[in-house]
Amino acid sequence: MSEFEGKIALVTGGSLGIGRAVVERLAGDGAAVVFCGVEEDGVRRAEEELGAAGLEAAGVVADVTDAAQTSALVGTAVSRYGGLDVVVTCAGVQRYGTVEDTSEELWDEVLDVNLKGVFLVCRAAVPEMRRRGGGAIVTVSSVQAFVSQARVAAYSASKAAINALTRSMALDHAEDGIRANAVCPGSVDTPMLRWAADLFRGETTQDAQVAEWGRAHPLGRVARAEEVAEVVAFLAGPRSSFITGAEHRVDGGLLARNPAALPDPSH
């Protein structure tokens, strides 16, 4: 029997990047998956590709910063498949700025998507998970919850707060049989990283910029999204039944350096 056979999972930000890899990993191991994204074309394309691969995955266009939409998203999983066992929060944005030059609008955008979105989805999901006798929440955080680049004040703050929220959920809902853990990747080859590489590459190529960032990791490269998805699947499944309230670094040894420091993306 597959590890997630009979399980129902919800993945935010599931149409691309780490989220897409998580959808493929869970659905490929038997889960029925509902995933969301904010761009309809991307959601429909992902849904079509996943279906063509024989995977059970339903895409929903939803904004995780909107309480009504997150409630409806959870409702889709319940009405379509009968409940909810696993929640993985991958939706996120990266923006640049110091405390001094970050606008209130940019701050709100980052915190709304990266932190409030996790809160809203989990708030809607916990009662449904409780009805199923428990389950697993996996939040996608970042090594920037622990150390930081220059000029990512809002992003780093949002990721540190995700870790704190995850610990709180682990404590508050242990009696419901719900575990909560955070995954904290280093640099991962995703559309978000490629966007950042284009922003800072200067006269070099996108691939060269990504490779330069990869060399900051002791393993000498950035991660593949599938490598992060493997850790998510472990934490979402029964093999991690006694793990909760923890942060799990998937960073190629980046934070093992002493002192740990992320490269300044502007150099």
Supply the CATH number for residue 140's domain.
Answer: 3.40.50.720
Mean pLDDT of 204-229: 96
Is 96 known to be catalytic?
no
235, 161 Cβ separation under 8 angstroms:
no
Q: Let me know if residue 2 belongs to a domain.
A: no
Q: Let me know if residue 129 belongs to a domain.
A: yes
Q: 115 and 193 share a domain?
A: no
Average pLDDT along the chain: 96
Residues 23-80: pLDDT tens digits? 999 999 999 999 999 999 999 999 999 999 999 999 999 999 999 999 999 999 999 9
Q: Let me know if residue 266 belongs to a domain.
A: no
In this model, does residue 263 exceed pLDDT 90? no
Residue 118 CB-density burial (10 A; 0-12 exposed, 13-18 middle, 19+ buried): buried
Q: Let me know if residue 132 belongs to a domain.
A: yes
Cα distances (Å, whole numbers) of residue 45 to 8, 49, 187, 215: 21, 6, 25, 33
In this model, does residue 198 exceed pLDDT 80? yes
> What is the span of the domain harbouring residue 216?
187-222
Q: Into how many domains does the chain fold?
A: 2
Q: 140 and 166 share a domain?
A: yes
Mean pLDDT of 172-189: 98
Q: 167 and 205 share a domain?
A: no
Q: 25 and 75 share a domain?
A: yes
184, 250 Cβ separation under 8 angstroms:
yes
* Residue 257 confidence class, pLDDT cut points 50, 70, 90: confident
Q: 213 and 146 share a domain?
A: no
Q: Let me know if residue 3 belongs to a domain.
A: no
Q: 201 and 139 share a domain?
A: no
State the catalytic residue, choosing from 155, 173, 180, 196. Answer: 155
**3-class secondary structure, 9:** strand
Q: Please tell me whether the overall predicted TM-score, pTM, comes out greater than 0.85 for this model.
A: yes
Q: Let me know if residue 51 belongs to a domain.
A: yes
Residue 23 and residue 243: Cα distance in Å, rounded? 22
Mean pLDDT of 225-240: 99
Residue 208, phi then psi, degrees to nearest 5:
-65, -40
- Strands (E) across the chain are located at 8-12, 32-37, 57-61, 86-89, 135-140, 178-185, 188-189, 223-224, 247-250
Q: 98 and 146 share a domain?
A: yes
Least confident range from 90-104, 133-147, 202-216, 242-256: namely 202-216
Q: 133 and 201 share a domain?
A: no
Q: Let me know if residue 175 belongs to a domain.
A: yes
